[in-house]
Amino acid sequence: MLLDVLSIPKDDPIAFTFFTGYMAMLAASVFFFVERSSVDEKWKLSMLVSGLITGIAAVHYYYMRDYYVATGENPTALRYIDWTLTVPLMCVEFYLLTKAAGAKLGLLWKLIFASVWMLVTGYIGEAFNPEGGSTSHSVLWGFLSTLGYLYILYTAWYGEVAKLAANSGNESVKVGVRTLGWFVLVGWAIYPIGYMCMPGGWLNTGLGWESSNVDLFYNIADAINKIGFGLVVYSIAVSSKKKVAA
């Protein structure tokens, strides 16, 4: 179905964030791919991954914005397809940043597994909640999803990634990993807020927050986290190059 621009409500913040999210992701992707040629060889793969994250997200946002405008419903399936591709890639950035400090493939696969676990259980919690919303279903699968999130958070702040960054001898990597850790701690925390707005979620049953809010929270979080991750990687690559030149 072709998008009818005239049908977009002027006072709909969710539609607005779908459009701005799409353009922001697309612009970020172009930026990362173009700037990839200006960084040192060891950072090119990280920059490529950053461009892929925002590029994949831009494609999905293109379809999600049309779906939302046409139906007014949450594009849950499209949303999780996007996350299943982009969130593991965000975890790959932790591995790439600490690879020079001795990160092994085992770390990469553990982070990917944790991210996929987090997404699959979260999807079950949202997409397969009984009609009308079951709080027990929402809480159970939300709890299971949180386990994957907590593992990534711990690894970034105190676990293997944090230790490798501390021992890397590269101040830019140390600061970068800590900044990405803040994105996971604060930025990723926006997603559970959206999850709990779904029927059966605590914010839905306790405060009456409607499920329509979920896309608003998710769109804001996606823009902050996906573009932010790439900008952190870019800043590390640029600062490292300046130190070599000096």
Looking up residue 34, the CATH number of its domain turns out to be: 1.20.1070.10
Note the pLDDT of residue 208.
54
Note the pLDDT of residue 3.
47
**pLDDT band at residue 244 using 50, 70 and 90 as cut-offs:** low
Q: Is residue 34 within 8 Å of 236, Cβ to Cβ? A: no
Whether pLDDT at 87 is above 70: yes
Q: How many CB atoms lie within 10 A of CB 134?
A: 15
Is pTM beyond 0.85? Reply is yes
**pLDDT band at residue 1 using 50, 70 and 90 as cut-offs:** very low
**pLDDT band at residue 6 using 50, 70 and 90 as cut-offs:** very low
**pLDDT band at residue 13 using 50, 70 and 90 as cut-offs:** confident
Whether pLDDT at 2 is above 60: no
DSSP code of 103?
-
Comparing 133 with 108, which gets the higher pLDDT?
108
Rg over alpha carbons for the chain, rounded to the nearest Å, is 19
Average pLDDT of span 82-89: 96
Backbone φ and ψ of 128, nearest 5°: -115, 20
State the total domains in the chain.
1
Whether pLDDT at 213 is above 90: no
Whether pLDDT at 207 is above 80: no
Note the pLDDT of residue 71.
87
Query: What is the average pLDDT score of the chain?
Result: 87
Backbone φ and ψ of 211, nearest 5°: -65, -20
Q: How many CB atoms lie within 10 A of CB 206?
A: 10
Most confident of 27-36, 93-102, 119-128, 171-180: 27-36
Whether pLDDT at 48 is above 90: yes
Q: For 141-182, write each residue's pLDDT tens digit.
A: 989 999 999 999 999 999 999 999 999 888 989 999 999 999
Domain extent, residue 235, equals: 5-245
